Structure 1
Amino acid sequence: MSDTSPPASRRILVVDDNAINRRLAMAFVKRLGFVTEEVEDGASALAKLASSPFDVVFLDISMPGMSGEEVLARLRADPRFSGLHIIAYTAHALPEEKQRLVDAGFDDLLIKPISLKAVELALANFLPA
């Protein structure tokens, strides 16, 4: 099932407690033509997602308060977010970590430091052919 709507109509939420990491991810996403917003923690992410529709979430794993995995579990348990594409956004790059995150329910994985190419590959399903 491919969606042919232009990327600009696609919304991406970047969730990271580190402002520099958020800025970098947002710059890459905007360069690819997507609309993007940012929040700095899990509770803010859940509130933002409950109030606005998004297509994709870049979700940091290691955050104070609520971890990315806790946010993921809450989103996956809520039928309102069944079509949401959730990408782990993490510095944890060991193969067993990657597998554990995929098994937890993440759709994809971006390893920090990210590159424009990595972001483009992660969002390939949302880019027009």
Structure 2
Amino acid sequence: MGKQTLVVDDNELTGRLVCVFLKRLGWQPRLVSTGQQALDILAQEPMDMVLLDLRMPGMSGERVCRCIRDDMGLVHLPVVAFTAHSMPEEKARLLSAGFDDVLIKPISFQDVRRLCASRGKTPVAACA
């Protein structure tokens, strides 16, 4: 069984696409559409990585990340932001806010492959 990944995105098409990419790389994605759903799952189930959209209704991705780090104490869980905002200062701010990495939308298979490889779980040559 592959590594468990929680994908959090209120855009169903984007979320499903990321899940397809992860499955091709041998990961087991689970898709939810709200930050609260993500927190509920993380309270019940271990995950190996979280891919977290920043702009969601109700609770922003940044708030969810703070809850994961501060309230839940999951400081070693890789949490990756994905966003359409690609300014270098935005990435630096997100990394200092507790995210481990940032993917810029639109996300490609190569982006997800590099991310998984950087997490030491998937060889870069997999599914090339």
What per-residue deviation string (whole Å, max 9, x for no partner) do you get for residues 51-92 of structure 1? 111010000000000000000001111354222100001111
Distance in 1 between residues matched to 2:106 and 2:49, nearest whole Å: 19
Give the match for residue 126 of structure 1.
Answer: 120
Decide whether the 8 Å contact of 2:113 with 2:122 is kept in 1. Answer: no
TM-score (norm 2): 0.90
Which portions of structure 1, spanning 4 or more consecutive aligned residues, are displaced by more than 6 angstroms?
none
Range moving further from structure 2, 64-73 or 8-17: 8-17
Distance in 2 between residues matched to 1:69 and 1:128, nearest whole Å: 26
Distance in 2 between residues matched to 1:80 and 1:98, nearest whole Å: 23
Matched, 1:105 2:60: no
Aligned pairs, number: 122
Give the match for residue 17 of structure 1.
Answer: 10
Give the match for residue 65 of structure 1.
Answer: 58
* Structure 1 position 123, deviation (Å): 1.4
SS of match in other structure, 1:93:
coil
Q: Which has the higher relative contact order, 1 or 2, with Cα contacts under 8 A spaced 6 or more apart?
A: 1
Distance in 1 between residues matched to 2:25 and 2:53, nearest whole Å: 20
TM-score (norm 1): 0.89
Give the match for residue 4 of structure 1.
Answer: none
The structure with the largest helix share of the pair is 1
> How many percent of aligned residue pairs carry the same amino acid?
48
